[in-house]
Structure 1
Amino acid sequence: MGNKLVVNVVTPNGTIYEHNAKLVVAKTIDGEVGIMPNHAPIIVPLAIDEVRVRRTDADTHVDWIAVNGGIMEMRDNIVSIIADSAERDRDIDVSRAERAKIRAERKIQKAKELQDKNELKRATVALHRAINRINASSHH
């Protein structure tokens, strides 16, 4: 068994992250999970949140990735995250994320006024995604 992880984050647009790491921390729908080398095999559904990766080539540096749900699998020291969308902190367009947040807040207000539960759910997810992107970008 090795003393490092291989971390891959894949979206429909391709691989957005691939590095060796000594620790991965992600938020699942049931809470936070930390993965270190030689962790037992698992597959977990991810929440809309940041994934933190402590790379093997950096003592204190952490890579932050905004992940909008998906799944994470750990097997044979390979952590694979498959998500609908994900962005590294350095790649996030903060002004675009801020505009998305404002749009989502307006849609939430309108959905509440119209009592449209489906639109309220969609707008709430959009708001969580925008806030997640803003939060992840603040670490860069």
Structure 2
Amino acid sequence: MADNQSVLSVSIVTPDGQVYNEQGDLLIVTTKSGQLGIMPNHVPVIASLEVEEARIKRGENEDEIAVNGGFLEFSGNVATIVADSAERQDDIDVNRAENARERAEATIKKAQEAHDADTLARAEVALRRAVNRINVAKH
């Protein structure tokens, strides 16, 4: 790629280690306030992330990472995402994600019937994570 002023350095880390570390032209994430696109020389940003994909455009290529919450910090053309968990598109086991979705849906149904708000909230997060992984894997 070109000089440091025209590219982003994007790193995604989780408690288990680094998931992604590449340079790109554009980073697109979904924050609690909505979708955010970051290009080189963007103003510094700190944002809380939703359970959603992160897309990194690199010329004609695009990398998709299933990011499950966390935070984004961007400054000096360096974007760092610290996430609870994250998976590269090629690393996602779709069958496992489908099973997780089914378990979460069943748990949601039981929690609604039992009026168990805590279990319902946890199951809804699990469902969002599973659906996110499925969506990223199928792109």
Tell me the TM-score normalised to structure 1 length.
0.95
The answer for the alignment partner of 2:98 in structure 1 is 98
The answer for the alignment partner of 2:113 in structure 1 is 113
Q: CA deviation at 1:46?
A: 0.2
Quick one: distance in 1 between partners of 2:24 and 2:34?
21
Please give the per-residue CA displacement for 1:54-95, whole angstroms capped at 9, x wherever unaligned. 12xxx3221000000000011000000000100010100000
The answer for the alignment partner of 1:53 in structure 2 is 56
Say whether 1:21 aligns with 2:9. Answer: no
Quick one: distance in 1 between partners of 2:61 and 2:99?
29
The ranges of structure 1 where at least 4 consecutive aligned residues each deviate by more than 3 angstroms after the TM superposition are none
Quick one: distance in 1 between partners of 2:113 and 2:107?
10
Tell me the TM-score normalised to structure 2 length.
0.96
Quick one: distance in 2 between partners of 1:64 and 1:97?
16
Quick one: distance in 2 between partners of 1:37 and 1:28?
19
Q: CA deviation at 1:44?
A: 0.2
CA RMSD, 1 decimal: 0.8
Q: What is the aligned-residue identity percentage?
A: 49
Q: How many residue pairs were aligned?
A: 136
Aligned residue runs from structure 1 range 1-140, under 5 A: 2-55=5-58, 59-139=59-139
